[in-house]
Amino acid sequence: MTPPPPTPTRAAFLSAVGCYIMWGFMPLLFMGQAAQGFSAPEILSHRALWSVLFAGGLVLLAGQSPQVRAVLSQPKTLAWLGLATVLIAINWGLYVWATTHHATLEASLGYYINPLLNMVVGLWLFREKIDRWGWVAIGLAAVGVVFQALALGRPPWISIALALSFGAYGIIKKRVPVEAQAGLFIECLLLLPFGLVFVAWLQMQGQGHAFATPEAFGWALLNGPATVLPLALFAYAARRMPLSTMGFIQFLAPTLQFGVGLATGELFTPLRAVSFAFIWVGAGVFATAAFLRARAARRAMAEAAQPV
């Protein structure tokens, strides 16, 4: 018998809300570093550098050190995590660049369409079915992307690349049998040499900013907990909450990113408003349909469990 979906607890709900709020306000961290003179590659390097310390701490707290050692001795699993590392590095790099170059609105669009893109990928790779409301949500999102292209005068490459890279990353993480904290630590470990080399090169060239002042160092150090903590909260919530509930909450992050983009003065034309209106309606259809499916499944399980 299929086990019933997990019952959300207060701690799980708060963890989910907390992680998406952190992701939603993440642009402010990168903007703060940019104000200190950090370039996008330097921010990404410090993200790789300091994340490994905090990810390692989580591994120790979760008691997953044996799994880390086991994965490091399994070339196939390590290769898949290496590919995941490349994808998340691309995603991080694009996101940092977008939020420090006045393209936060375009970045937020990518995370709105990501769950809708996941449905298409599920159909293609895993033969998952999409109901009519799923197709409606996908169609609305596609129209929104077209309007965004018209508003920008080009395809929204940042949005598309963010959605594709994070979607592909999620597929790999779903298929690789490694716990969240252990996998994250290994990914950070694989990124560490590149971060160290680039930070060292910047310092030797006199172009580094992190060690110039205590304030700048504080900004750089924040990359560690800002990267690791929301992922840890997400992993905790995802194991204890129905996916339909997570589906509702996940749109909190791009909504906050959208608000940050508006608050920092990014251009928001009527055509872009139309684009986001289609995306928002599509996201609403997606989340509502997921909730109704989950409620129907719980009701069917409850009826099946009743004595005849």
Exposed (0-12), middle (13-18) or buried (19+): which is 196, by Cβ within 10 Å?
A: middle
Q: How many angstroms separate the CA atoms of 86 and 167, rounded?
A: 13
CA distances from 226 to 54, 63, 176 (A): 10, 22, 24
CA distances from 36 to 39, 135, 208, 254, 260 (A): 9, 45, 11, 25, 19
Q: How many angstroms separate the CA atoms of 184 and 99, rounded?
A: 23
Token representation of residue 119: 């449905």
- Local structure of residue 213 (DSSP, 8 states): S
Please give the pLDDT value at position 45.
93
Token representation of residue 141: 């999102």
Please give the pLDDT value at position 308.
56
Cβ within 8 Å of residue 304, ≥6 positions away: none
Domain ranges of the chain: 17-305
Token representation of residue 122: 């599920």
Please give the pLDDT value at position 243.
59
- The residue whose two tokens read 């330097």 is 42
Cβ within 8 Å of residue 175, ≥6 positions away: 80
Q: How many angstroms separate the CA atoms of 34 and 42, rounded?
A: 10
Q: pLDDT (tens digit, 0 to 9) for every residue of the chain, 308 residues total?
A: 444 444 557 888 888 899 999 999 999 999 999 999 999 999 999 998 999 999 999 899 888 899 999 999 999 999 999 999 999 899 999 999 999 999 999 999 988 888 777 777 777 776 667 788 888 888 888 898 889 989 888 999 999 999 899 888 878 877 888 887 888 899 989 999 999 999 999 999 988 899 989 999 999 999 999 988 987 888 778 767 765 567 678 888 999 999 999 999 999 999 999 999 998 998 888 878 877 777 777 777 777 767 65
CA distances from 169 to 87, 101, 119, 131, 174 (A): 6, 24, 15, 25, 9
- Local structure of residue 101 (DSSP, 8 states): T
Token representation of residue 72: 């490091």
